């Protein structure tokens, strides 16, 4: 499934909207190859940030939450789901995603707590 891309300029006075529902947020790369977003992951729900990444390439990712979440980076090939990263009960993590082929990748957080979790995500395409 392809998702739309649009460009936002980071470091400007534009406000980044906060997502309050279990929505799939498209990756909107800046002209410098960065993406930042703050999300709210509702109690018992998930948040997902997805977009098509060109291969071969590398994406540096990092996030912080104020409550433990289940986290993964994944992509789909037909009915098979592959997880380049998968962590349980984390409040922060970072890593490098090595993209071998052009496809849609998703960063996903599941909040199994009884309270909403605030999340801050940063993605950066390596040049």
Q: What is the pLDDT of residues 35-91, one digit of tens each?
A: 999 999 999 999 999 999 999 999 999 999 999 999 999 999 999 999 999 999 999
Q: Which residue, chain included where needed, has tokens 């649009």?
A: 6
Residue 9 placed within a domain: no
Percent of the chain residues past pLDDT 90, beyond the cut:
80
> With contact defined as beta carbons under 8 Å apart, do 119 and 41 qualify?
yes
Residue 31 placed within a domain: yes
Q: Does pLDDT of 11 surpass 90?
A: no
Expressed as residue numbers, the domain containing 75 is 24-125
Residue 14 placed within a domain: no
Count of the separate structural domains present in the chain: 1
Give the pLDDT confidence score for residue 12 in this predicted structure: 32
R_g over Cα of the chain: 14
Residue 48 placed within a domain: yes
Residue 18 placed within a domain: no
> With contact defined as beta carbons under 8 Å apart, do 45 and 22 qualify?
yes
CATH number at residue 30: 2.60.120.680
């Amino acid at each position: 499934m392809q998702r739309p891309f649009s460009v936002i300029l980071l470091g400007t006075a534009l406000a980044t909207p906060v997502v309050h529902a279990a929505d799939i947020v498209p990756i909107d790369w800046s002209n410098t190859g960065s993406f930042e977003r703050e999300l709210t992951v509702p109690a018992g729900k998930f948040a997902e940030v997805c977009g098509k990444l060109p291969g071969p390439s590398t994406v540096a990712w990092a996030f912080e939450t104020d409550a433990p979440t289940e986290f993964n980076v994944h992509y789909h090939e037909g009915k098979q789901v592959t997880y380049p990263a998968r962590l349980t009960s984390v409040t922060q993590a970072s890593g490098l995603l090595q993209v071998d082929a052009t496809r849609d990748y998703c960063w996903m957080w599941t909040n199994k707590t009884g309270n909403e979790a605030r999340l801050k995500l940063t993605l950066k395409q390596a040049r």
